[in-house]
Amino acid sequence: MAYTPDQRRWQLLRRGRYVEFNLVYDRGTKFGLMTPGARVESILMSLPEVARWEYMSEMETKEDSEEGKVLEVLRNPREWVHWTGQRDTTSSLNSQIIASVRNFRSEEKRARRKQEAQKNGVKYMVSPHSSLIDSAKAQILSKKSILKES
């Protein structure tokens, strides 16, 4: 596809803005360049080979041009999704699923602990203050200490 010299100039100006952003504002690139012993060539490989910078370019002031329309969109982004501050049904459904999976897992743990306590002949208790009381462990330890004494 053929392009005009003005379109090529515009492309090079946009590439220049990309390079400017990467070198001046991007924290990852800045961190990489400031790291002692960094391979600068590797960090700069992501930058375009050819770019252009112009001070006060008239291409950015022509509002009726294609470039001006692009700049207008970039300066005034459209709000595609209206945020009401409430969760959408998908995320609330996901959180409900996650909560039910966690409850299921904790119920499985309780059942296993109860079985272990019954196997060891220890009373299993559930506390209203915490999810489980490790009274089974305490009783087992007390039985062991009684056995050691005798």
Segment 1-23, tens digit of pLDDT:
788 898 899 899 889 988 988 88
Task: Summarize the confidence of residues 11-40 as an average pLDDT.
Answer: 88
Amino acid at 91: S
Question: Which tokens sit at 27?
Answer: 């924290």
pTM of the model: 0.47
pLDDT, tens only, 100-124:
777 777 777 777 877 887 787 776 6
Task: Summarize the confidence of residues 29-55 as an average pLDDT.
Answer: 87
Do 110 and 132 contact (CB within 8 A), yes or no?
yes
Q: Which residue has the tokens 């602990």?
A: 113
Amino acid at 44: L
Residue 35 or residue 119, greater confidence: 35
